[in-house]
C-alpha cells in the first residue's frame, strides 16, 4: 500500500518553467525512500506539495489518501517534516521549540522529542542560534519525530552537515522509523547516505520520474560498461540508460540488464549518475522512460 | 496548569520581546512623565482671578503664570513623543507578526507543525494585540490627563478640544496601524519594505478616514448664531465645522455666494446673519466612539484579510 502518491502532477512557476511534469509515483508504506536528483529537479517542490506549501498546477497528490489542498490540516496531521533549512526561532531555546510544537500540534509528544535531544546531548536550555548546524538539524528531526506522524518528509536535511553529523542524523532517523513503523521520504544528494539509510530509490530529473526501484533492485538491474566498449558489447536496443564520466575521467555507460550485457555490476552512485545523465539529453533520445518497480 | 494553558501566548510574547520591552518602556515612561507633568501643572495652578485676568496681568499673578507656562512646556516635551510612540508601536509590533517569520523562514517550521494556520495566526496575533491595546489606552489616558490639567475649566468628556490626540482614539488609531502593518507584512513577507509601505498606507488610510468623518460631521452640525460683536459662535469645547451666512429664506451660503461683492456693510457688519456650524461638545463621547468603532471595523477587516493570506500563501 502506498502512503504517499502523486497522480500526473505538474508544478509550473511563472508561465513556462515546469519544476515537475507528469509525475506519477507511489511511496510504499513502511519504506525509507530516497529521492535524488540534480538541483532544480523538483525534489523540494514535490515534498512541499505534500506538506501543502505548494499547490500543483495539474494533477493531484495524496498523503495517506488525503489531498493536502483539499484538507491541509488532515494531511499535515499525518506528516512530520524537516525543511531544507532548520527554520528554528533564534530567540527561543530548544525546550521552547518543543513547547511551541506542543501548542501547535495537539498530538505532539514532547517527551519523545526531549528524549532524543537528551540522547544527543543537545542542551534544552540553549538558544537556537547557539547551536551548530548539525544540532539545529537534529532539533528539526526531533520535532518531526515528536509529532508521531505516519509519514516523515525530509528535504535535504543533510546538505549542510559534516559527515559525522550526517551519520548521527541518519542513525536517529532509521532507528525512529524502524521503531515506529512509519514511512520516510528523504531528499538528498549524498549517495553514501542513501545506501546507509534507505531501502528505496526515487530519481527525479528534468521534472519527471527517472527511476523508482528498491535500492537492491536498482543495483541488481543495472551494469556499467566502458562507453568505448558499448559498441563491442552491443547491448540490446533501448538498454543503454546514459553515459557519464568515471572517477578517472573515463566515459562510462549505465546499461539496464543482467550479466549477459557484459560490463560490471553498477554501484548505486553509478545508477543515479546514469539516469541523471540520461535526463540531460533531449527527451526523445532517452533510451526509455522511467523505470518503475 | 494555567501557565501551560497560556504557553502559546508566552512564546509569542517572547518572540516579540525586544519590541515589547522597548516600546512598552517608552510608553510607560512617557505616560508616567505625563502624569507627573500634569500633577505639577495642577500644583502650580494660580488663583482663579489670575486665570480670568484679561489684558493686564496683576503683578501678584505673574510669577504663578510663569510657573504654569513652564509646566505646560514640560507637558509639551511629553506630548509629541507619546503620540509618536503610540502610533509607532502599532507599526513596529504589526509588521513582525507575519513578515519577519516569512523573512526568516520560521513559518516553514510553524506551518508544517500547525494543522490550522488560522490557529497559528491567532496565537501570534492576540497576545500582541492585547498588549498593544493596553499600552495605547495608557497613552490615551495620559494624554487625557494632560489635557485636563492644561484646561482645568473644561470637562474633557464633553469637549472636542484635542480631539484625536487624546483618549480612546489613540488606541483605535494605533490598532488600525497595527492591522495595516500585519496585512502588508503578510503580503510582502519582508520586514523593512513592509514598514515603509504600511506607514504610507496607514497614513493615507487615517487621513482619508478623517476627511470622510469630517464630511459626516458636517451633515450633523448644528447652527449657532455668531454674535457680530463677540465674533464667535458655539461654546468652548464645541467642534467648529464651518461658518456661513444665513439668507432670509434660511439658505446657508458661503463667501463664494457674494461673487466678489463685499458680504459686509460699511460698518463692517455682515449683510446677513452669520452662523457657525458646530458639533456640540456634549456629543464628544458619541463622535469619539463612532470613529473608534469605524477604525475597529477597518482593523478587523485588515486582520481577517491577513488571516486569509496566511491560510493561502506559500511560506516562501
- Does pLDDT of A37 surpass 90? no
pLDDT on residue B20? 96
Q: Which of A84, A98, A93, A189 is closest to A133 using CA atoms?
A: A84
User: How do residues A210-243 score in pLDDT, each as one tens digit?
Assistant: 899 999 999 999 999 887 776 666 666 678 888 8
Residue B139 CA to residue B83 CA, distance in Å, equals 8
Residue of chain B whose alpha carbon sits nearest to that of A78? B115
User: What average pLDDT is seen over chain B?
Assistant: 90
Q: Say if the Cβ atoms of B109 and A86 lie within 8 Å.
A: yes
Q: Say if the Cβ atoms of B8 and A81 lie within 8 Å.
A: no
pLDDT on residue A293? 44
- Does pLDDT of B52 surpass 80? no
Query: How many percent of chain A have pLDDT more than 70?
Result: 93
Which of A104, A105, A149 is the best substitution to test chain B (most B C-beta atoms within 10 A)? Answer: A104
Say if B164 is an interface residue toward chain A (CB within 8 Å): no
Closest approach of A81 to chain B, Cα-based (Å)? 7
Say if B215 is an interface residue toward chain A (CB within 8 Å): no
User: What average pLDDT is seen over chain A?
Assistant: 88
Say if A85 is an interface residue toward chain B (CB within 8 Å): yes
- How many other C-beta atoms lie within 10 A of the C-beta of residue B188? 20
pTM: 0.88
Q: Which residues are CB-neighbours of B182 under 8 A, at least 6 positions away? A: B94, B95, B97, B98, B125, B302, B303, B306
Closest approach of B285 to chain A, Cα-based (Å)? 41
User: How do residues A182-211 score in pLDDT, each as one tens digit?
Assistant: 999 999 888 888 888 899 999 988 778 889
Report CA dihedral (B5, B9, B15, B19) to the nearest 10 degrees. Answer: -150
Q: Say if the Cβ atoms of A83 and B109 lie within 8 Å.
A: yes
- Closest Cβ–Cβ partner in A54, A83, A97 for B314: A54
Contact of A183 with A152, CB cutoff 8 Å: yes
- Closest Cβ–Cβ partner in A76, A81, A103 for B11: A103
User: How do residues A76-107 score in pLDDT, each as one tens digit?
Assistant: 999 999 998 889 999 999 999 999 999 999 89
Closest approach of B117 to chain A, Cα-based (Å)? 9
Q: Say if the Cβ atoms of B108 and A87 lie within 8 Å.
A: yes
Residue A107 CB burial class (10 angstroms; 0-12, 13-18, ≥19): exposed
Q: What average pLDDT does range B69-92 have in this prediction?
A: 91
Q: What average pLDDT does range B170-190 have in this prediction?
A: 97
Per-residue DSSP letter, B45 = P
Residue B107 grid coordinates:
513559518
The number of angstroms, rounded, from the C-alpha of B85 to the middle of its chain's C-alpha atoms is 12
Strands (E), A104-221: 151-155, 183-187, 200-205, 208-214
Strand A200-205 vs strand A240-245: parallel, antiparallel, or unpaired? unpaired
Say if A251 is an interface residue toward chain B (CB within 8 Å): no
Q: Say if the Cβ atoms of B123 and A102 lie within 8 Å.
A: no
pLDDT grade for A38, boundaries at 50, 70 and 90 = confident
Say if B21 is an interface residue toward chain A (CB within 8 Å): no
Closest approach of A104 to chain B, Cα-based (Å)? 5
User: How do residues A151-180 score in pLDDT, each as one tens digit?
Assistant: 999 998 888 778 888 888 898 889 988 998
Q: Say if the Cβ atoms of A104 and B7 lie within 8 Å.
A: no
Say if A86 is an interface residue toward chain B (CB within 8 Å): yes
Report CA dihedral (A174, A179, A181, A187) to the nearest 10 degrees. Answer: -20
Q: Which residues are CB-neighbours of A42 under 8 A, at least 6 positions away? A: A11, A19, A20, A23, A204, A207
Say if B97 is an interface residue toward chain A (CB within 8 Å): no
Residue B180 CA to residue B194 CA, distance in Å, equals 10
pLDDT on residue B86? 95
Q: What average pLDDT does range A255-272 have in this prediction?
A: 86
- Closest Cβ–Cβ partner in B108, B113, B315 for A105: B113
Q: Say if the Cβ atoms of A105 and B115 lie within 8 Å.
A: yes
What is the number of CB-based contacts under 8 A between chain A and chain B? 77
pLDDT grade for B257, boundaries at 50, 70 and 90 = confident
Q: Which of A33, A14, A189 is closest to A6 using CA atoms?
A: A33
- Does pLDDT of A52 surpass 70? yes
Beta bridge partners of A20: A11
Q: Say if the Cβ atoms of B104 and A143 lie within 8 Å.
A: no
pLDDT on residue B230? 64
Say if B11 is an interface residue toward chain A (CB within 8 Å): yes
Closest approach of A69 to chain B, Cα-based (Å)? 10
Residue B205 grid coordinates:
488610510
Instruction: Residue B17: list chain A partners with CB under 8 A.
Output: 91
pLDDT on residue B51? 63
pLDDT on residue B53? 47
- Closest Cβ–Cβ partner in B11, B108, B116 for A96: B11
Say if A69 is an interface residue toward chain B (CB within 8 Å): no
- Does pLDDT of A289 surpass 70? no
pLDDT on residue B191? 94
Instruction: Residue B116: list chain A partners with CB under 8 A.
Output: 73
Per-residue DSSP letter, B273 = -
Q: Which of A80, A88, A127 is closest to A105 using CA atoms?
A: A80
Q: Which residues are CB-neighbours of B122 under 8 A, at least 6 positions away? A: B307
H/E segment holding residue A20: strand A17-28
SS3 B275: strand
Is the complex ipTM higher than 0.90?
Answer: no
Say if B123 is an interface residue toward chain A (CB within 8 Å): yes
pLDDT grade for A127, boundaries at 50, 70 and 90 = very high
Residue A254 CA to residue A281 CA, distance in Å, equals 14
Per-residue DSSP letter, B227 = P
Amino acid at each position: 500500500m502506498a502512503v504517499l502518491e502523486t497522480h500526473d502532477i505538474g508544478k509550473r512557476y511563472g508561465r513556462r518553467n515546469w519544476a515537475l511534469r507528469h509525475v506519477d509515483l507511489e511511496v510504499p508504506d513502511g519504506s525509507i525512500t530516497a529521492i535524488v536528483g540534480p538541483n532544480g529537479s523538483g525534489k523540494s517542490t514535490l515534498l512541499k506539495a505534500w506538506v501543502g506549501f505548494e499547490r500543483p498546477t495539474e494533477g493531484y497528490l495524496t498523503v495517506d489518501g488525503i489531498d493536502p489542498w483539499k484538507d491541509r490540516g488532515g494531511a499535515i496531521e499525518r506528516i512530520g517534516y524537516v525543511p531544507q533549512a532548520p527554520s528554528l526561532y533564534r530567540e527561543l531555546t530548544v525546550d521552547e521549540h518543543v513547547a511551541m510544537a506542543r501548542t501547535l500540534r495537539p498530538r505532539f509528544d514532547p517527551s519523545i522529542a526531549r528524549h532524543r535531544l537528551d540522547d544527543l546531548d543537545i542542551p534544552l536550555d540553549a538558544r537556537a542560534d547557539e547551536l551548530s548546524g548539525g544540532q539545529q538539524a537534529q532539533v528539526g528531526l526531533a520535532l518531526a519525530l515528536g509529532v508521531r506522524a505516519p509519514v516523515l518528509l525530509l528535504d535535504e536535511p543533510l546538505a549542510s552537515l559534516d559527515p559525522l553529523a550526517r551519520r548521527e542524523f541518519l542513525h536517529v532517523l532509521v532507528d525512529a522509523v524502524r521503531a515506529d513503523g512509519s514511512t520516510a521520504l528523504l531528499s538528498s544528494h549524498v549517495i553514501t547516505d542513501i545506501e546507509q539509510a534507505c531501502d528505496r530509490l526515487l530519481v527525479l530529473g528534468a521534472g519527471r520520474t527517472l527511476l523508482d526501484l528498491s535500492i537492491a533492485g536498482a543495483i541488481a538491474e543495472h551494469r556499467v560498461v566502458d562507453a568505448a566498449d558499448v559498441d563491442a558489447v552491443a547491448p540490446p536496443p533501448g538498454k543503454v540508460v546514459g553515459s557519464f564520466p568515471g572517477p578517472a575521467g573515463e566515459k562510462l555507460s549505465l546499461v539496464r540488464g543482467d550479466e549477459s550485457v557484459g560490463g560490471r555490476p553498477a554501484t548505486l552512485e553509478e545508477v543515479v549518475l546514469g539516469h541523471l545523465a540520461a535526463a540531460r539529453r533531449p527527451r526523445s533520445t532517452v533510451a526509455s522512460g522511467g523505470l518503475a518497480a | 496548569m494555567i501557565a501551560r494553558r497560556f504557553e502559546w501566548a508566552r512564546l509569542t510574547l517572547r518572540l516579540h520581546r525586544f519590541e515589547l520591552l522597548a516600546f512598552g518602556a517608552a510608553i510607560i515612561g512617557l505616560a508616567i512623565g505625563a502624569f507627573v507633568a500634569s500633577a505639577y501643572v495642577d500644583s502650580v495652578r494660580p488663583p482663579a482671578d489670575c486665570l480670568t485676568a484679561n489684558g493686564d496681568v496683576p503683578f501678584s499673578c505673574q510669577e504663578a503664570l510663569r510657573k504654569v507656562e513652564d509646566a505646560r512646556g514640560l507637558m509639551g516635551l511629553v506630548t509629541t513623543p507619546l503620540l509618536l510612540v503610540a502610533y509607532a508601536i502599532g507599526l513596529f509590533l504589526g509588521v513582525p507578526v507575519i513578515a519577519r517569520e516569512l523573512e526568516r523562514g520560521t513559518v516553514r517550521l510553524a506551518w508544517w507543525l500547525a494543522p490550522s494556520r488560522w490557529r497559528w495566526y491567532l496565537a501570534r496575533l492576540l497576545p500582541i494585540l492585547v498588549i498593544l491595546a493596553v499600552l495605547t489606552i495608557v497613552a490615551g489616558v495620559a494624554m487625557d490627563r494632560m489635557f485636563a490639567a492644561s484646561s482645568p475649566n473644561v470637562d474633557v468628556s464633553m469637549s472636542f478640544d484635542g480631539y484625536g490626540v487624546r483618549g480612546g482614539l489613540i488606541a483605535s488609531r494605533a490598532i488600525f496601524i497595527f492591522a495595516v502593518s500585519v496585512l502588508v507584512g503578510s503580503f510582502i513577507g519582508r520586514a523593512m519594505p513592509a514598514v515603509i509601505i504600511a506607514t504610507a498606507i496607514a497614513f493615507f488610510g487615517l487621513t482619508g478616514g478623517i476627511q470622510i468623518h469630517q464630511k459626516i460631521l458636517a451633515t450633523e452640525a448644528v447652527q449657532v448664531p455668531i454674535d457680530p460683536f463677540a465674533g464667535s459662535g458655539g461654546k468652548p469645547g464645541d467642534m467648529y465645522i464651518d461658518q456661513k451666512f444665513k439668507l432670509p429664506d434660511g439658505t446657508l451660503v458661503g463667501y463664494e455666494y457674494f461673487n466678489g461683492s463685499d458680504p459686509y456693510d460699511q460698518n463692517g457688519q455682515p449683510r446677513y446673519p452669520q452662523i457657525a456650524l458646530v458639533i456640540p461638545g456634549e456629543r464628544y463621547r458619541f463622535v469619539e466612539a463612532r470613529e473608534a468603532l469605524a477604525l475597529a471595523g477597518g482593523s478587523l477587516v485588515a486582520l481577517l484579510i491577513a488571516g486569509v493570506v496566511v491560510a493561502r500563501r506559500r511560506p516562501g
